[in-house]
Amino acid sequence: MGSITTPTSLPRKPFAWRRGTRSMTALAVAALALTACSSGGGGAESEPDPQASYSQDQVVSALNSVEVDGQKLSAEPMDEDNADSQMEDLEQVIEQATIEPAQCKDLVKEALDTSSGHAEDIVVATPSEGQYAVTVMPMGSGDEAVEHARTANQQNEDCREFTMELMGSKIEASIEPRDLDLDKATEATMMNMTMDMDGQSNTMTQASAVVGNTFVVVSGQGGSSGTASPTSETPDVEAILQESVTKISEQ
């Protein structure tokens, strides 16, 4: 399963557990998307330093210097209490959901377990406009970051299509993954995910990569059908990811 690990796409405010079926289902889908299928990640066009280590402060500084399509990012560390609360909410939602194939659920839970120890280190960056977010998780070493990425990428072909049922609602999802070749990064992957629920189809694009000891993720909301106000086009997450890893590597 793909290039994304669970905490990196969490919302910045705690999830309210009693908001109803649609909110809980959306959160469960987010967790599944974070481990979306991929073939294991592309190499780097310009070889990065695998021993490079970046602190949370350096990541914040790097992301605050990112500008893509005229939009600058604003970055800050994720609040530790909020991160822990959101991890707990994700674990509860996934535990209650029925996911087929069943192995997809197991892999999501594994990704949650391996990520929980770094939730307090996450940095979140968003643009002034646009439907995407950049999240970065500094880890103990470059080897740990690579292992984390490869664990997230191990999902087999069966999970390119899956279903999830939660509180009477059913979602059918399909994933189209591909490897990326980025400068200054390794384990680079990207996936497009389509989710159908109650006659509405939504798309999401996510891309991730490793630079030094950090795991970097860009999440972009795509189009939506079946609503009166469809969302805008999916942002260029590959370009945003490239600029983000470049700025981190310059620290």
Domains of the chain (ranges plus CATH)? 6-249 (3.40.1000)
Residues of the chain by 3-state class (helix, strand, coil), percent to 5? 35, 30, 30
Q: How far is CA 103 from CA 26, 52, 85, 107, 155, in A?
A: 20, 34, 25, 6, 9
pLDDT in tens, the chain (251 residues): 443 333 334 333 333 333 445 555 555 555 555 554 344 455 555 667 778 999 999 999 999 999 998 889 999 998 766 767 777 777 888 888 898 988 888 877 777 776 666 677 889 999 987 679 999 999 999 999 998 888 777 654 567 888 888 888 888 988 888 899 999 999 999 888 888 887 888 888 889 999 999 999 998 876 555 544 444 566 899 999 999 999 999 99
- What is the model's pTM? 0.79
**Residue 67 CA, distance from chain mean position:** 20
d(CA 3, CA 191): 8
φ, ψ dihedrals at 178, nearest 5° = -160, 155
Q: To the nearest 10°, the Cα dihedral for 150, 179, 108, 231?
A: 150
Beta bridge partners of 219: 133, 206
Residue 65 to residues 28, 48, 218: CA-CA distances in angstroms?
A: 32, 20, 16
Check residue 2 and report its DSSP letter. Answer: -
